[in-house]
Structure 1
Amino acid sequence: MDETFLDSNHAIPPANLRALRRMRELGVLFVPSSGRWYSSIMDNFPGEARELLEGSYVLSYNGGFINRVGDPEPLTTYGLSRTCAEELYARGRELGLAMHINVADGHVFVPDADDDERAYLASISGVTHVNSKDHPDLSFLEGRDIVKILYVNRDFDALQELGASLAPVAERLGVEITFSSKRYLELMPAGVNKGTGLARLAEMLEIPLSEVIAVGDSANDLSMIQAAGLGVGVANVTDDVRPSCDVVLNTTGMDGAFEELVERFLER
């Protein structure tokens, strides 16, 4: 959702709010999908935008959790084993990277974020900054289910190289690697992605995937773009995802690409 539907301040651009209104009028179900958690996603839909989501659903944690709008209790969940999470956390500390440790109750703990990362997260609720020197392991999260772990690096090329080098470790641990926001390497249970989440929701709602449009910008959107009947990239879609898109819009997500989407593919 970030960089696809929201601007750089994690707010809905006016053009996308107009698109939400028109989709509602047309009877099109709009489902936000994000690597973030349900409450954080809903914070991005204040006032009228929240009303326009009534009766819809939210795919959070990269499709692993599905919620009805207005109900914080998820219909589906997933998580990492404690052993797996501990190894990933230890490796992140060895690499000297800031991390996000996402827990199932809608919070994220962020060890060692620099000023840029703190600023990027400033408008997102449920974030707690910690120092990994005070937490050599994850015992400070005892009793809380860990959903996924992110490594942070704004050098996206280096992050992709790290992902390739970690592939054998991920396979051994049963973990899937993906990327988001050109700054995050995400580590989740294998088989959990936005594509499987979308397919599960479509099955629940008895909607053929051929009638679904999926819109994204990053690698964590790829499975969803491939699963949908029409896979759409916003203008700022990353180069690794662009070839898999059926269509790439002329407008960036930050500038309100969904108005173009409605005009080109729904007003027909």
Structure 2
Amino acid sequence: MKLIASDLDETLLSTDRTVSEKNREAIRRARARGNKFVCATGRGYESIQGTLEEIGMKDAANEYTISFNGGAITENAGNRLIHFEGLPFEQAETIFQRGLKYDVCIHVYTLDTVWIYRIFDGERQYLDGRMAFREFDAENLDFLKEEPLVKVLYVHTNRDYLNRIEAELADITGDLDVSYSSNRYLEFNKKGVNKGNALKFLGDYLGIPHENQIAVGDNFNDLSMIEAAGLGIGVQNTVQSMKGKCDVILKSTNDEDAIAELIDRFVLS
């Protein structure tokens, strides 16, 4: 049995935000042979139910999802939470307050809602069809003080600008897990919360050894699981600066049935 952990946006999902027929069929064949296919996303598990339905895994017992960059692991049946690690309120509030000083849109994730401050038209368009959200205009997070907070992220389409912000936040990021995704997000999770550690947890939970774990992604929030897996794979459209850190780069992009290529070459061959 192999455990295949796949990122969603820009990896499993085509640009039109659907799962291609070839990818769906390859996942079906891999599961029919007893392998585990796990969606591993920076988004919340509530927002990917449409994708799980496309691949025949919505509400499926003994099937699992890694979400919030590893902040949560759920069994698909009933979205049963089996592992959760969130941000303490004080850390989330500090990240939010520092973000107010920059030209960024800010997302704040609870388990069931994405709250967005200063959204702009381009971000609305990007999120359309990906996930629901609620806007807010308060200049603090006091209204979420009693909620379980999962992560905070900054949005800007200039990666160099996000890199500069990360450097300027060095005084607080030592106690955080920081990653990038979708070439527009600078993400902050609790220290130690990442897709790699979530993959290790799930592998132990399922009794699937490291050497039988495969991880695939396209951006730096996927790197921890790509490095943690026995085989770490990048799709062809993986960001250039990360390609050298992958064991294998697929020939296909997310718009060319990359997951089907992975399954045919490394799972079913």
SS of 1:253's equivalent in the other structure is coil
1:58 equivalent to 2:61? Answer no
Partner of 1:71: 78
2:126 corresponds, among 120, 126, 133, to 120
Partner of 1:87: 94
Partner of 1:169: 172
2:114 corresponds, among 97, 108, 127, to 108
Look up the equivalent residue of 1:250 and give its one-letter code. Answer: K
Residue correspondences, number: 262
Q: RMSD between aligned alpha carbons?
A: 1.7
Look up the equivalent residue of 2:222 and give its one-letter code. Answer: D
Output the CA distance in 1 between the equivalents of 2:126 and 2:61.
28
Look up the equivalent residue of 1:190 and give its one-letter code. Answer: K
Q: Please, which moves more after superposition, 7-16 or 257-266?
A: 7-16
2:140 corresponds, among 137, 142, 156, to 137
Give CA-to-partner distance per residue, 1:197-219, whole Å, 9 cap, x none: 00000001111011111001111
Deviation at 1:48, TM superposition (A): 5.5
Look up the equivalent residue of 2:121 and give its one-letter code. Answer: D
Partner of 1:20: 27
SS of 2:134's equivalent in the other structure is strand
1:151 corresponds, among 147, 150, 154, to 154
Output the CA distance in 2 between the equivalents of 1:233 and 1:161.
26
Q: Please, which moves more after superposition, 44-53 or 65-74?
A: 44-53
Output the CA distance in 2 between the equivalents of 1:73 and 1:54.
10
Deviation at 1:157, TM superposition (A): 2.4
Give CA-to-partner distance per residue, 1:18-61, whole Å, 9 cap, x none: 21122122221101100111111222222553369653110111
Look up the equivalent residue of 2:233 and give its one-letter code. Answer: V
Output the CA distance in 2 between the equivalents of 1:56 and 1:218.
24
CA contact (8 A) 2:116 2:133 kept: yes
1:233 equivalent to 2:240? Answer no
SS of 1:7's equivalent in the other structure is coil
TM-score normalised by structure 2 residue count: 0.92
% identity of equivalent residues: 36
**Unaligned runs of at least 5 residues, structure 1:** none
Output the CA distance in 2 between the equivalents of 1:43 and 1:267.
26
Q: Please, which moves more after superposition, 17-26 or 159-168?
A: 159-168
Give CA-to-partner distance per residue, 1:215-244, whole Å, 9 cap, x none: 011111111000111000000111232111
Q: Please, which moves more after superposition, 153-162 or 86-95?
A: 153-162
Deviation at 1:142, TM superposition (A): 3.2
Give CA-to-partner distance per residue, 1:238-261, whole Å, 9 cap, x none: 123211110000111233201111
Q: Please, which moves more after superposition, 206-215 or 137-146?
A: 137-146
Partner of 2:3: none
CA contact (8 A) 2:49 2:58 kept: no
Output the CA distance in 2 between the equivalents of 1:230 and 1:8.
25
Give CA-to-partner distance per residue, 1:97-152, whole Å, 9 cap, x none: 10110012x2101111111100111113441123xxx3011122232121110000
Output the CA distance in 2 between the equivalents of 1:57 and 1:110.
27
Partner of 2:42: 35
CA contact (8 A) 1:30 1:53 kept: no
Q: Please, which moves more after superposition, 153-162 or 243-252?
A: 153-162
Alignment of structure 1 residues 184-199 onto 2, 5 Å: 184-199=185-200
Output the CA distance in 1 between the equivalents of 2:159 and 2:15.
18
Output the CA distance in 2 between the equivalents of 1:190 and 1:34.
18
1:246 equivalent to 2:247? Answer yes
Output the CA distance in 1 between the equivalents of 2:58 and 2:67.
19
